[in-house]
Amino acid sequence: MAKKRRFDTTNHVARIFCEAVQAVLQTATDSKITFAPTIQKVPSISMKPDIGCFVQFNGDYSGLFIMNLSEKAALELYRRSMLHMGLPEEDLAADYTSDDVVNCIGEMINQIIGKARSMVEAEFGLTASNNQPKAITISTAITLSIATTLERPQCRRLSFKTQDNNPFYVEMNLEQTEFIQLFPADSSKLNVQQDIDQMIEGDDPIDDDSTNADDVDIDALLEEYS
């Protein structure tokens, strides 16, 4: 029998989230994103100025993900992302309270949580879903706490820097759980959405005779993974 692998689950998932944040933001902004090698254990997590964004995830494991950005960090990520997409600089917002900036950060968080969930699934075979991320501007005079139904959540703070050395932070909690891996996850049954997207785009690596979107039997594909 294969030896069971035990993990310091909260810290391991925190590291996965670090890697997801870095991968998504570097791709979106075409810039360097770094994170501190030290994870902080904290008693609670909250949204802080100048922009806070949160998303809850539930399923085989449950928790809450928060990203807190200063004005400078938010504007840098927004501007680099828009410029990377080809928008002219004169059309970009200059105020971090602009809806364009807030919505851009919210979309980045949506991509990050999706990336992190897929990484957890690939490694452990565990799945979760999330609600729509919410990003808001926050006054320097307040900090918002978010209530969850988790009992005795394990909380961590992760520190990042943009290419221009503007700091921002991820705060996350995870239900009290332990991942004990009996054997490696079956990667052939993972990333169903990726396979669906490939077939719809006519870029399925398994079949050289790629079909277009009108020929895809989505129901059959989903049944294969059920």
Average pLDDT over the chain reads 84
Confidence tier at 167 by pLDDT (50, 70, 90): very high
Helix axes 71-84, 99-124, angle to 10 degrees: 80
Same-domain check for residues 110 and 215: no
Least confident range of 70-74, 90-94, 120-124, 217-221: 217-221
Same-domain check for residues 134 and 52: yes
Same-domain check for residues 160 and 218: no
Given a contact cutoff of 8 angstroms between Cβ atoms, the answer to whether 69 and 150 are in contact is no
Same-domain check for residues 53 and 150: yes
Same-domain check for residues 111 and 219: no
Angstrom distance (rounded) from CA 140 to CA 137: 10
**Over residues 107-128, mean pLDDT:** 96
Q: Is residue 162 part of a domain?
A: yes
pLDDT at 33: 98
Q: Is residue 136 part of a domain?
A: yes
**Over residues 215-220, mean pLDDT:** 45
pLDDT at 210: 38
Q: Is residue 27 part of a domain?
A: yes
Same-domain check for residues 177 and 217: no
3-state helix, strand, coil in the chain (%, to 5): 40, 20, 40
Same-domain check for residues 99 and 209: no
Which 8-state DSSP code applies to residue 47? Answer: B
Q: Is residue 186 part of a domain?
A: no
What's the CATH code of the domain at 67?
3.40.1550.10
Same-domain check for residues 165 and 209: no
Closest CA to 202 of 193, 192, 211: 211
Q: pLDDT by residue (tens digit) across 80-117? A: 999 999 999 999 999 999 999 999 999 999 999 999 99
Considering its fold, how many domains does the chain have in total? Answer: 2
Same-domain check for residues 202 and 154: no
Same-domain check for residues 205 and 117: no
Same-domain check for residues 161 and 115: yes
pTM: 0.78
**Over residues 187-216, mean pLDDT:** 46
Find the domain containing 148 and state its range.
5-181
Same-domain check for residues 130 and 219: no
